[in-house]
Amino acid sequence: MSSNHRLLVENADQVVVICNHGEKFLTKEGMKNLSVIQNASVVIGRDGLIEAVGPSKAISLQYSGASFDKVIDAKGMCVLPGLVDAHTHPVWAGDRVHEFAMKLAGATYMDVHRAGGGIHFTVEHTRAAAAPELLGSLGSRLARMLRAGTTLVECKSGYGLELQTEVKMLEVIEKARRSLPINISSTYCGAHAVPKGKTVAEATEDILQVQLPRLKELMSAGTLRVDNIDVFCEQGVFDLDATRSILQAGKELGLNINFHGDELHPMNSAQLGAELGALAISHLEEVTDEGIAAMAMAGTAAVLLPTTAYILRLPQPRARAMLDAGVIVALGSDFNPNAFCCSMPIVMHLACVNMRMTMSEALAAATINAAYALGRSDTHGSLEVGKHGDLLVLNNSRWEHLIYQLGGHRELIRHVVIKGNVINTDQTMPL
């Protein structure tokens, strides 16, 4: 006889639900005071959604006659939502370990980019790679993220910079979305750099007249699902006007605006994003006070990427100023060939130490707020009834160990659960 529920996680010392009033995001005090239930259990139904979460005694009474496909005894452990990584570039060929050496020796990100390396190096290799090769390496990278507790991840295109390769990348992301357990939010980032041999105006024209119309056809035919549109708004890359026209065109196709802004220079990207109703802007190392105020007012999330500032030795994004102003702060790993990090626990640790966030703020930023940045906080990012049963079971009675034990997530994360299914994260694949 089949059981009537998928999973019971019982007797956890702590269940960190994050919030419990259907909040779509948290700011200020809400990020500091996460909702945690002591001695608690979680029930996930056959549909993979959370059916109940509450004190263990109440749940065991309520479900005394119920049957479950699987029961996890979480005594001495804690439970928290699956982590959400709001910014990654995981589809590419050709690593850039040689550039890491150059940067350690003093070259800046833009020195390498202008010399034809950086994104251009990756574009050359990604254009030449066959889709199955890209899918294989993407699968391995996503498996690594899953092992580190990420259950929803944003994945960008952006190493094609022309129609054929951008579509190839989005198709690879689509295949992964349909075949792998991890949840994916897909982003078209055809404006990640100005391709060699083109001006900004020519690249913008190609995106508006060639790439976006084809995406529209593929999306309408149901071949591709694309959720977000992205532009690298930066001096020497896409200026404010080009950024505006590309983002606006994407919005007209129904895509959420979620772009790179104010990273290396103050560009007024934050003000532009607020004006266009952007769901999120990433980086913001150089955001101004006016930009922060505009984002707070517009409900545009700031996706902060502690690995970028760390690796490139940039000034840290002013997380405290953003938090104090009431900006919705989220986190992302920025996994890409420049910043090779698949671990949101490490990202949270860096956010706490280098950006002076508290552990509660970092966890809110890596769950409910990151889900908001991807337009998914109605279904992900907290352990509330009706949301997806995506959670982590930690081998420790206090959740803070996930941030405190730098690099210790492999030993700490006992189970990764997606829609009530315990995922086998043991397969190791080459990257």
Ligand X SMILES: N=CN[C@@H](CCC(=O)O)C(=O)O
> Which residues are near ligand X by CB under 6 A?
89, 118-119, 122, 232, 260, 263, 308, 334, 336-339
Q: What separation in angstroms does the CA of 275 have from each of 34, 43, 296, 416? A: 31, 42, 12, 39
- Minimum CB separation of residue 263 from ligand X in Å reads 6
310 in Cβ contact with 352 (< 8 Å):
no
> What is the distance, to the nearest Å, from the Cα of residue 15 to the centroid of all Cα atoms in its chain?
22
Q: Whole-angstrom Cα distance, residue 249 to residue 331?
A: 26
Nearer of residues 16 and 86 to ligand X, judged by Cβ: 86
β-bridge pairing 150-156 and 83-85: parallel
Q: Whole-angstrom Cα distance, residue 363 to residue 331?
A: 9
**Helix (DSSP H) and strand (DSSP E) numbers for the chain:** 19, 16
Nearer of residues 119 and 167 to ligand X, judged by Cβ: 119
> Residue 413 forms beta bridges with which residues?
394
Residue in 99, 169, 117 with CA at minimum distance from that of residue 138: 169
Nearer of residues 89 and 376 to ligand X, judged by Cβ: 89
Residue in 48, 260, 84 with CA at minimum distance from that of residue 182: 84
The dihedrals phi and psi of 43, each to the nearest 5 degrees, come to -115, 130
- Minimum CB separation of residue 143 from ligand X in Å reads 21
- Structure tokens, 288: 């101004």
Residue in 365, 407, 329 with CA at minimum distance from that of residue 148: 407
- Minimum CB separation of residue 92 from ligand X in Å reads 7
Position of minimal CB gap to ligand X: 338
CB atoms within 10 A of CB 429: 12
- Structure tokens, 265: 């220079």
- Minimum CB separation of residue 240 from ligand X in Å reads 16
Nearer of residues 6 and 260 to ligand X, judged by Cβ: 260
Nearer of residues 93 and 293 to ligand X, judged by Cβ: 93
CB atoms within 10 A of CB 238: 28
- Minimum CB separation of residue 99 from ligand X in Å reads 9
Nearer of residues 80 and 303 to ligand X, judged by Cβ: 303
Residue in 249, 303, 14 with CA at minimum distance from that of residue 295: 303
- Minimum CB separation of residue 101 from ligand X in Å reads 15
Residue in 251, 414, 254, 253 with CA at minimum distance from that of residue 272: 251
421 in Cβ contact with 134 (< 8 Å):
no
- Minimum CB separation of residue 400 from ligand X in Å reads 28
- Minimum CB separation of residue 304 from ligand X in Å reads 11
Nearer of residues 37 and 351 to ligand X, judged by Cβ: 351
Nearer of residues 336 and 377 to ligand X, judged by Cβ: 336
Q: Whole-angstrom Cα distance, residue 292 to residue 284?
A: 9
- Minimum CB separation of residue 148 from ligand X in Å reads 19
Nearer of residues 89 and 318 to ligand X, judged by Cβ: 89
